[in-house]
């Protein structure tokens, strides 16, 4: 359904990933981009939280770059026999401010930036990586690209009536941009679903996350509070991941269900 809505093609006849034409002959590369912080163990624990509710049924990743995190999620889902869960990867695939500003001077950035015909080949690298993963082992039913800004992606989901129950927000981390994305994506999140993202240690991310939670709880805290949790990407890691869950009415109750999760996941 998602593939057909986006591309007007039956995925069993013409799948956008499997049939990617790769016009620039980009080779799959999983080593030249070092900044993917979503690890299989952490994602598995996120899935454990949602499992009792029969979730996730639909995952959205906002900010995918070369597809490393999406492939990690797809691999974990396959291991858990959840081979049909779609992962919609929303990204303009144009590169962020740091990539454009630094790639000529900073080798650590220039090593994973490739410009052809006046544009970065981020989308092509994403597709080459995902196509390789699908052809090798990952279920074709997971990862779909949506080449659009986070704003366009969110509004398209609303118009089409799609409500994800798990959203990984990993976009450009710009001040105020993160706040806008939080506002858009938390609103369309399925009740009981989880919205999370990394780099809580970045000042812009921390400021926008804290501001969104504070303002939301001031306005809706009595009926629909956000319980913000902070976790390390892995034991001993410096990278911090923020996690928030949308409240859901408990069965046969008038109070919102309490958000309970594994202690290790939720402790800094």
- Of the candidates 26, 4, 28, 5, which has an alpha carbon nearest to the alpha carbon of residue 15? 4
Give the integer Cα–Cα distance in Å for 232 and 15. Answer: 36
Q: In CATH, what number is assigned to the domain containing residue 10?
A: 3.40.50.150
Domain around 127: 2-266
Is residue 33 within 8 Å of residue 40, measured between CB atoms?
no
Is residue 257 within 8 Å of residue 250, measured between CB atoms?
yes
- Of the candidates 3, 1, 76, 65, which has an alpha carbon nearest to the alpha carbon of residue 33? 65
Q: Which two tokens stand for residue 48?
A: 């454990």
pTM above 0.85, yes or no: yes
Residues near 160 by beta carbon (within 8 Å), at least 6 away in sequence: 5
Residue 257 phi/psi, 5-degree rounding, is -65, 145
HSE-up of residue 84 (Cα within 13 Å, Cβ side) = 3
- pLDDT (0 to 100) of residue 260: 35
How many domains, the chain? 1
Q: What is the mean pLDDT of each run of 10 residues along the chain (268 residues)?
A: 96 97 95 73 94 94 95 97 98 92 89 91 97 97 98 98 97 88 96 95 94 94 85 84 84 34 43
Q: Is 243 helix (H, G, I), strand (E, B) or coil?
A: strand
- Of the candidates 146, 137, 113, which has an alpha carbon nearest to the alpha carbon of residue 26? 113
- pLDDT (0 to 100) of residue 259: 34
- pLDDT (0 to 100) of residue 256: 33
- pLDDT (0 to 100) of residue 266: 45
- pLDDT (0 to 100) of residue 238: 83
């Amino acid at each position: 359904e998602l593939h057909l809505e986006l591309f007007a093609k039956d995925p069993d006849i013409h799948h956008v990933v499997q049939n990617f034409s790769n016009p620039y002959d980009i080779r799959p590369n999983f080593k030249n981009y070092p900044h993917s912080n979503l690890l299989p163990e952490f994602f598995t624990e996120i899935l454990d939280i949602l499992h009792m509710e029969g979730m996730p049924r639909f995952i959205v990743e906002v900010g995918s770059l070369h597809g490393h995190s999406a492939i990690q999620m797809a691999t974990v889902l396959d291991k858990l026999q959840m081979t049909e869960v779609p992962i919609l990867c929303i990204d303009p695939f144009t590169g962020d401010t740091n990539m454009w500003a630094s790639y000529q001077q900073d080798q650590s950035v220039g090593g994973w930036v490739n410009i052809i015909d006046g544009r970065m080949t981020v989308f092509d690298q994403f597709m080459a990586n995902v196509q390789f993963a699908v052809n090798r082992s990952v279920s074709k039913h997971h990862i779909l690209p949506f080449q659009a800004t986070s704003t366009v992606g969110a509004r398209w989901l609303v118009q089409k009536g799609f409500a994800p129950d798990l959203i990984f927000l990993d976009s450009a981390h710009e001040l105020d941009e993160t706040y806008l994305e939080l506002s858009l994506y938390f609103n369309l999140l399925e009740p009981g679903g989880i919205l999370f993202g990394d780099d809580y240690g970045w000042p812009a991310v921390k400021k926008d996350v804290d501001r969104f939670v504070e303002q939301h709880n001031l306005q809706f805290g009595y009926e629909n509070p956000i319980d913000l949790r902070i976790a390390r990407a892995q034991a001993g890691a410096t990278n911090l991941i923020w996690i928030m869950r949308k409240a859901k009415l408990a069965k046969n109750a008038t109070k919102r269900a309490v958000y309970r999760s594994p202690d290790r996941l939720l402790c800094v």
